[in-house]
């Protein structure tokens, strides 16, 4: 009887490395591709890095990675984790997630950059022209929270809104990239984001959009980071967002005006992208201000959102604190 050896758990569909199955004797050697998802688990400010091997099981990486932060991404060690995860999964070192909090899959970045009106159908619902170049604004890095954390409506807000978005995580320092191929090389992976916005402050209070984007809790991200090689076509992913069980947003990254590779190349001509930076790439139609009459968050709602291959989020909306 031929014996079977494996580098990881065969029944798990969620490992992002090549699963090599070696048979003793003259049996053929085969290769299987499985997606790996990087997570950070624990209380806010004390998260530990790991990798999911299924929806309920994580491989702890805190002894080899301090955090998924600027220093880690800049070290170029992201690709090294596959072998470590494979070895530990094969040795049965997976741990149940249990009741641990899921944090944002990256530590607070150097900067959060955002692209406005990047979906043709969203531009149409707002009555604005399709931009000829990406519209850039920034979001305070301290808006970043976990995918299941509460969203707090800020004091004085009257028009807090939702936006399901694809987030790009930068994997290396990038400035004056020559072309989109170099931009692709600079991307570490992708993450689900809710780009929460205060529309009055964004659009009616003069100046930059950042005023309506940077309130605390306004950037839930996660539940996990998926490396770029695990997504065959990032411009063909379904997106959705529900409020209290009612579908408000439905779209696809296929209606993006500027692709992730274009965005990264474009931004590098104006500023230096740092490892671990997050770029929010815009939202499809169905935001609160796009409805007639407009619908905004008041507190007490539950937002649920997702993107194909990037997981789902759920946030309770808290009323303003006075």
The encoded tokens of residue 189 equal: 């992976």
221 touches 167 (CB < 8 A) = yes
Backbone φ and ψ of 43, nearest 5° = -65, 155
Angstrom CA distances, 205 to 3, 117, 126, 135, 202, stand at 69, 19, 18, 18, 7
Condensed to tens digits (0 to 9), the pLDDT of residues 274-310 reads 999 999 999 999 999 999 999 999 999 999 999 999 9
pLDDT tens digits along 59-90: 999 999 999 999 999 999 999 999 999 999 99
Alpha-carbon distances of 189 from 24, 51, 162, rounded to whole Å? 36, 14, 23
Phi/psi zone of residue 276: left (φ > 0), alpha (ψ -120 to 50 degrees), beta? left
Q: Which of 155, 187, 157 is nearest to 173 (CA)?
A: 187
Mark the ranges of the chain whose per-residue pLDDT is less than 70.
1-35
Residue 245's region, left for phi above 0, alpha for psi from -120 to 50, else beta, is left
């Amino acid at each position: 009887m031929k014996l079977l050896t494996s580098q990881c758990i065969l029944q798990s569909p969620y490992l992002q490395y090549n699963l090599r199955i070696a048979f003793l004797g003259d049996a053929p050697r085969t290769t299987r591709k499985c997606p790996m998802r990087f997570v950070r688990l624990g209380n806010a400010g004390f998260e530990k890095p790991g990798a999911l091997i299924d929806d309920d099981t994580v491989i702890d990486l805190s002894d080899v990675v301090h955090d998924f932060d600027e220093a880690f991404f800049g070290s170029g060690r992201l690709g090294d984790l596959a072998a470590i995860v494979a070895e530990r999964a094969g040795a049965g070192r997976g741990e149940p997630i249990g009741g641990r909090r899921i944090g944002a899959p990256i530590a607070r970045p150097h900067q959060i950059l955002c692209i406005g009106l990047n979906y043709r159908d969203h531009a149409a619902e707002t009555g604005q022209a399709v931009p000829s170049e990406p519209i850039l604004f920034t979001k305070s890095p301290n808006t970043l929270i976990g995918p299941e954390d509460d969203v707090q409506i800020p004091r004085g807000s009257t028009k807090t809104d939702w936006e399901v978005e694809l987030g790009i995580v930068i994997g290396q320092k990038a400035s004056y990239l020559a072309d989109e191929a170099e931009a692709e090389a600079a991307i570490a992976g992708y993450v689900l984001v809710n780009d929460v916005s205060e529309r009055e402050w964004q659009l009616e209070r003069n100046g930059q959009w950042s005023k309506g984007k940077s309130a605390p809790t306004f950037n839930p991200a996660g539940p996990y980071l998926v490396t770029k090689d695990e997504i065959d076509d990032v411009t063909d992913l379904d997106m959705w967002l529900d409020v209290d069980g009612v579908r408000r947003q439905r779209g696809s990254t296929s209606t993006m005006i500027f692709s992730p590779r274009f965005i990264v190349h474009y931004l590098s001509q104006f500023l230096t992208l740092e490892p671990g930076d997050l770029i929010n790439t815009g939202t499809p139609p169905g935001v609160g201000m796009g409805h007639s009459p407009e619908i905004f968050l008041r507190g007490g709602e539950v937002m649920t959102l997702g993107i194909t291959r990037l997981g789902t989020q759920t946030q309770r909306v808290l009323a303003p604190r006075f």
